[in-house]
Chain A
Amino acid sequence: MARPVIGIPCITLADQWYGPTNGNFKAYLQAVEFAGGIPLLIHLSDDQEVLRYHYQLCDGILFAGGDDLHPSSYGETAIPQLGQTDQAKDSTELRLAAWAREDRKPVFGICRGIQLLNVAFGGTLYQDLPSQFPSDYNHRDSEDRAEWTYLAHPIRFVEDSWLAQQLGSHEIVVNTLHHQAVKRLADGLRVVASAPDGVIEALEGTGEQFVAAVQCHPETLWQEADLRWRKVFAGFVDRCRS
């Protein structure tokens, strides 16, 4: 198939009487489509057999934003500041990430996605930055302004990172809508970008599997706010072609 299929696990929205909805933001789907891929939504399911059908059609997986991972997935107990969690999302995504790692399928993480990949590889998270990592920076700044594309703070990349190469810059300003972050880095990953306060903002894999992940939300930036992100999505889709 000419265009690679990129799986995107869903999030669940609960809208009172209307009942829970499985889906994801159009911005992720369009980013994949624009970059030359076929977006495939993967609904959340504990049914491994059904999930496997989706997985096998995927040439790569994009782990998108969403609720907090439950800290039991990295051996911690929940602190009071932990946000909403979604058991079905955790189990679906951790399973997909493990399968992809086994098969060396390319993966890309965004926001919760960078956290998910770090946990799937054996790392840990800050459950809540304001209470566990005091800083002058508000990592929910774009969210507090109710503006996805608000560029809140710079991030600086290491010299030899794939992401910096795709972006064509080693320092960029990004949007920020998170309260958790990578704490202990997992084996098999390396930090390729940080915020000025030291919060980890991007990871890449060190092994054969293509792994790249960012803490910001480039799926809402590539359209207008920062066109350089298009090369990142295109680069990921290209890595899924082989």
Chain B
Amino acid sequence: MKPIIGIPCGSTKDTPWSPPMHGHRQTYIDAVVQAGGVPFLIPLVDDEEVLRTLYNQLDGLLLAGGGDIAPSYYGEEPHENLGSVDELRDRVEIPLTRWAVADGKPVLGICRGIQMLNVALGGTLYQDIGSQLANTSDHRDSMHKEDWSYMAHGLSIDPESKLASMLGVTVFQTNSLHHQAVKDVAPGLRAVGWAPDGVIEALEGTGDQFIVGVQCHPEALQAETDPRWRGMFRAFVESCKHPEPAVA
């Protein structure tokens, strides 16, 4: 059986007058399929019973990129440079993340996903790197270049980390499309990757459960630009094969 990997959707619009759409970029889907999983786009549903039923189908959770998390989840007032917040998405991802961590289901967080992982488990965020952290580089560089594969800055991974063994490398270049970052690391997580300016770029769980978060966008790199990232996606999907069977 291939493991089912849930990916909570983001919201998007195709024309100004069209109603909102829920979905995700093809690269997330491709990365999961390539690693041997079955991607499941999770609609942003209002009803917790519906969400729980969808959650019960999952063997693992992939938290993808998107807008900012409401700072109220980590006890702060909105900063003037806070970006757009999707309350419904927060309401879907917070419980999904907590359920998965509590049930031992593997979790992989990407960009907003590393931030969600940290916030859902009790950590905090810089609401805007540029205005809250001095002497930092432009962490939106690949976005300004409108190029997912643009390598914006270096990344150092703790050689002792599980992530380092998945990637087989500890110092390399990566893309960068974010303006928020992990501030205080949540209990049960530890920082295992940093940009040269000190911004936290990777987290992992301190226990045996697969819990990994990265601030960059490896889903856009694994196919061509940097196939080493496939090691992380494979390790994630592999770890989803073992825990409790999905409830039908």
Determine whether B57 belongs to the interface, using a CB cutoff of 8 Å to chain A: yes
Q: Determine if A21 and B50 form an interchain contact, defined as CB atoms under 8 angstroms apart.
A: no
Are B26's CB and A20's CB within 8 A?
Answer: yes
Binary contact readout B1-33 vs A (1 if CB under 8 angstroms, 0 otherwise): 010100001011011011111111111010001
A92 at the interface (CB under 8 A from B): no
Note all chain B residues with C-beta closer than 8 A to A38: 45, 50, 53-54
Min CB–CB distance A165 → chain B (angstroms): 27
Digit string of B48-63 for contact with A (CB within 8 Å is 1, else 0)?
0110011001000000
Contact of A21 among B4, B20, B26 (CB under 8 A): B26
Quick check: is A176 within 8 A (CB to CB) of the other chain?
no
**Distance, CA A10 to CA B39, complexed state (A):** 13
Please report the C-alpha to C-alpha distance between residue A17 and residue B147 in the assembled complex, in whole angstroms: 7
Specify which of B27, B43, B47 lies most central, judged by the most chain A CB atoms within 10 Å of its CB: B43
Which residues in window 7-62 of A have CB below 8 A to B? 10-13, 15-27, 29-30, 33, 38-41, 43, 45, 47, 49-50, 53-54, 57
Which label, helix, strand, loop or mixed, suits the secondary structure of the A interface?
mixed
Write the nearest CB–CB distance from B33 to chain A, whole angstroms: 6
Proximity string of chain A (207-234) to chain B, C-beta cutoff 8 Å, 1 when within and 0 when not = 0000000000000100000000000000
Number of interface residues of A (CB under 8 A): 39
Asked whether, in the complex, the Cβ of A24 is within 8 Å of the Cβ of B50, the reply is: no
With contact pairs A19-B27, A50-B2 given, residues A27 and B22 touching in the complex (Cβ less than 8 Å) = no
Say yes or no for A146: interface residue by CB 8 A criterion.
yes
Contact yes or no, A24 B53, CB < 8 A? no
Q: Decide: A13 near B53, CB < 8 A? Known: A41-B41, A43-B39.
A: no
- What residues make up the interface of A, taking CB atoms closer than 8 Å to B? 1, 3, 5, 10-13, 15-27, 29-30, 33, 38-41, 43, 45, 47, 49-50, 53-54, 57, 146-148, 220
Given contacts A33-B43, A148-B17, 9 further A-B contacts (CB under 8 A): A22-B29, A22-B41, A24-B23, A26-B21, A29-B44, A39-B43, A40-B40, A41-B42, A220-B19
Q: Which 10 A-B pairs have the closest CB atoms?
A: A23-B23, A17-B146, A41-B41, A146-B17, A29-B43, A53-B38, A20-B26, A26-B20, A23-B21, A21-B23
